[in-house]
Structure 1
């Protein structure tokens, strides 16, 4: 009997300890808004490496950034940064992101957002306009850093 009670107490303590590792819905929504604002800031006509570095600072060291539709994954911050810095050569006419809907789970947020922009990539001779609704899931680690991004492009 004592052994059963001890096991039950250990189980409850381990469960309550892990509950402290989760964030509230409000905290997760704020983290999602911070991510979207950082993503938007690095895509502006006047963006610099400062905005890119801030965006990357939101990621855990062992992050996964998965572009589901294109079957492409980033797991290396230096490679991600390098690719983002190269995009600074593009001519951004305008870019905006509007959050349409947010859904919250245990340390995960799903963000439905509309991305609108007009860009002339450095490697193309033409301007590209886009207006897409995308869904992004953001999973957070115990420190509140993004450990997994899944981008479902519209």
Structure 2
């Protein structure tokens, strides 16, 4: 039994190292950021949202200070994000974003970006904002398992 445990532990390390060696973080960051930006555009569609969600694990956890301080992974995390983000598709009349910098390490990515938006709320009132944010993404099996957003 002890040999089996050692074998399985070694196999896990080898597969984790293979992921780290073969994973194209640069392409992942660029594709993910593009998908995220597409969901915020004035003409964003359900297809744009589904493409963004394709980067996420089914049980993704999302933390977005100050509104969502809990980063717990939920079995239906992706479904919850689909529902929440779906309510806001197309509310922006204007949206611009710029990738400032990104860093990555073993199964983690940080993305610093700035964005600005204008739009209308459901009550007809207008809003406008501009922010710089740092998103920290934890990866598991090539999918985002936890998102943490820090912004001003």
SS in 2 for 1:44: coil
Unaligned runs of 5+ in 2: none
Shift of 1:79: 2.2
Runs of 4+ in 1 over 6 A off after TM superposition: none
Q: Give me the whole-angstrom Cα distance separating, in 2, the residues matched to 1:48 and 1:14.
A: 39
Which residue in the other structure is 1:93 paired with?
93
Number of aligned residue pairs: give it. Answer: 143
Q: Give me the whole-angstrom Cα distance separating, in 1, the residues matched to 2:53 and 2:10.
A: 36
Which residue in the other structure is 2:30 paired with?
33
Relative distance call for 1:104 and 1:84 in structure 2 (3 A) is same
Normalized against structure 1, the TM-score is what? 0.80
Check if 1:54 corresponds to 2:72. no
Task: List per-residue Cα deviations over 1:113-141 (Å, max 9, x = no partner).
Answer: 00111111224x42211110000011111
Relative distance call for 1:86 and 1:24 in structure 2 (3 A) is same
Which residue in the other structure is 2:140 paired with?
141
Unaligned runs of 5+ in 1: 1-5
Q: Give me the whole-angstrom Cα distance separating, in 2, the residues matched to 1:96 and 1:113.
A: 11
Relative distance call for 1:120 and 1:79 in structure 2 (3 A) is same
Q: Give me the whole-angstrom Cα distance separating, in 2, the residues matched to 1:78 and 1:14.
A: 29
User: Where do residues 77-92 of structure 1 align in structure 2 (5 Å cutoff)?
Assistant: 77-88=78-89, 90=91, 92=92
Normalized against structure 2, the TM-score is what? 0.81
| Structure 1 range deviating more: 61-70 or 16-25 | 16-25
Higher Rg: 1
Shift of 1:145: 0.9
Relative distance call for 1:120 and 1:23 in structure 2 (3 A) is farther
Q: Give me the whole-angstrom Cα distance separating, in 2, the residues matched to 1:83 and 1:20.
A: 35
